[in-house]
Amino acid sequence: MSDARHSSATGHTGPVRVTVLGPVAVLTAAGERLEPAGVRARTLVAALALAAPRPLTPTQLIDEVWGDSPPGGAKAALQTLVSRLRAAVGDEVVESLPSGYRLGVEPDEIDLGAAELGLDRARAALDDGDDARAHALARDALTLWSGEPGADLGETAVADALRHRAAVASHGLTVAQATAALRLGRAHETEELAERLTVLAPFDDSARLLLMQALDALGRP
């Protein structure tokens, strides 16, 4: 049985994107969506995505994938897992280095990396007073989420770390979009975004301030 589910029986020509902001998957240049089968294979991809562009040593990956219950012959088990993953989603997905393994894509070809880059660019645009660009960058980056990050990884440390980074990025992007919308005179949009933020982060002062500013702009101080 194949170690991945994919949309085509034809060969693929290498990954162009890795997704972890939702189901873990590899999107290939041939247009295939390949989802590694098995929690360990998905955890391996997610751990490497969180570390990118740095490689992880075999010891680090064993800890990430198996936690406190590594199998006997753990390094051999890891090599087998990597081999099966490569057979399923392409040899280029996981690169072998003298120091360990890393994903064979650029950080911005991982949806989490692209979201975090989008946040950095949106904040820079706000600082420069380019509110329209900041709004577009934040809005577009928020579309990278395709589901609940970590939902297909079980109760693992990698899932927890992924959820944390995804939540930080989502919160920052929503604040950036709401701030830009307020500056652009879109107070209703800011109100909607700020209310969403206050539900998700009830003690966040920036969200409360944005909500008050939006209500004031709408004549409801």
* N- to C-terminal Cα separation, the chain: 62
Distance, in Å, from the CA atom of 76 to the CA atom of 104, rounded to the nearest integer, reads: 21
> What pLDDT does 68 receive?
87
The pLDDT value recorded for residue 2 is 38
Neighbours of 124 (CB within 10 A): 13
Distance separating alpha carbons of residues 90 and 25, to the nearest angstrom: 12
Q: Per residue in 89-100, pLDDT tens? A: 888 889 999 999
For 126, the enclosing helix (H) or strand (E) is helix 111-127
For 99, list phi and psi in degrees, rounded to 5.
Answer: -90, -10
- Per the CB < 8 A criterion, the answer to whether 26 and 90 are in contact is yes
d(CA 73, CA 81): 12
Count of all residues that appear for the chain in the document: 221
Q: Which residues of the chain have pLDDT under 50?
A: 1-12
Q: What is the per-residue pLDDT for 43?
A: 97
Angle between helix 39-51 and helix 74-89 axes, rounded to 10 deg: 90
Q: What is the pLDDT of residue 14?
A: 53
Report the pLDDT value the prediction gives residue 187, as an integer from 0 to 100. Answer: 95
Could you tell me if 17 and 109 are in contact, meaning their C-beta atoms sit under 8 angstroms apart? yes
pLDDT at 74: 94
pLDDT for 41 equals 95
Say how far apart CA 128 and CA 125 lie, in whole Å: 5
- Residue 10: the pLDDT is 36
Strands 25-28 and 15-19: antiparallel
d(CA 72, CA 156): 20
